[in-house]
Copies of this chain bind each other. A is one copy, B any other.
Amino acid sequence: MSSDYINALLKKPTTRTPIWVMRQAGRYLPEYRATRKKAGDFLTLCKSPELACEVTMQPLDRFDLDAAILFSDILTIPDAMGLGLYFSEGEGPKFSKPLSTLVDIENLTKPNVGDELAYVTDAVSVIKKSLNGKVPLIGFTGSPWTLATYMVEGGSSKNFAKVKGLMYENPTHMHQLLDKLADTIIDYLNGQIEAGADSVMVFDTWGGLLNQESYENFSLRYMTKIVAGIKREHEGKTIPVTLFTKGGAMWLEQIADSGCDGVALDWTVELGDAQSRIGNKVALQGNLDPCVLYASPARIREEVKKVLSQFDGDTGHVFNLGHGISPDVNPEHMKVLVDSVHEFSAR
Measured CB to CB, the residues of A under 8 A from B are: 159-161, 164-165, 168-169, 208-214, 247, 249-250, 267-270, 273, 289-292, 294-296, 299, 303, 306, 322, 326, 328
Give, as a whole number of angstroms, the nearest-CB distance from A266 to chain B.
9
Residues B291 and A164 in contact, CB atoms below 8 Å apart = yes
A75 CA to B247 CA, complexed, in Å: 26
List B contacts of A267 (CB < 8 A): 211
A247 CA to B164 CA, complexed, in Å: 18
Give, as a whole number of angstroms, the nearest-CB distance from A301 to chain B.
12
List B contacts of A210 (CB < 8 A): 268, 289
Residues B168 and A292 in contact, CB atoms below 8 Å apart = yes
Give, as a whole number of angstroms, the nearest-CB distance from A246 to chain B.
11
Residues A211 and B165 in contact, CB atoms below 8 Å apart = no
| Dominant secondary structure at the A interface | helix
Q: A165-B291, A169-B294, A250-B268 are in contact. List 18 more A-B contacts (CB 8 A).
A: A159-B290, A161-B291, A161-B328, A164-B294, A165-B294, A165-B295, A168-B291, A168-B295, A169-B299, A210-B268, A210-B289, A211-B268, A212-B268, A212-B273, A214-B289, A249-B249, A249-B250, A250-B250
A86 CA to B208 CA, complexed, in Å: 32
List B contacts of A268 (CB < 8 A): 208-212, 247, 250
Give, as a whole number of angstroms, the nearest-CB distance from A307 to chain B.
9
Residues B250 and A160 in contact, CB atoms below 8 Å apart = no
Q: A247: which of B213, B247, B295 is its contact (CB, 8 Å)?
A: B247
The chain B residue sitting closest to A298, CB to CB, is: B169
List B contacts of A212 (CB < 8 A): 268-270, 273
Q: A295: which of B160, B169, B269, B270 is its contact (CB, 8 Å)?
A: B169
Q: A159: which of B169, B296, B326 is its contact (CB, 8 Å)?
A: B326
List B contacts of A273 (CB < 8 A): 212
Residues B295 and A161 in contact, CB atoms below 8 Å apart = no
The chain B residue sitting closest to A307, CB to CB, is: B211
List B contacts of A328 (CB < 8 A): 161
- Of A208, A269, A270, A295, chain B has the most CB atoms within 10 Å of the CB of A295
Give, as a whole number of angstroms, the nearest-CB distance from A258 to chain B.
18
A303 CA to B210 CA, complexed, in Å: 14
Residues B211 and A169 in contact, CB atoms below 8 Å apart = no
Give, as a whole number of angstroms, the nearest-CB distance from A303 to chain B.
7
Give, as a whole number of angstroms, the nearest-CB distance from A218 to chain B.
12
Residues B291 and A159 in contact, CB atoms below 8 Å apart = yes
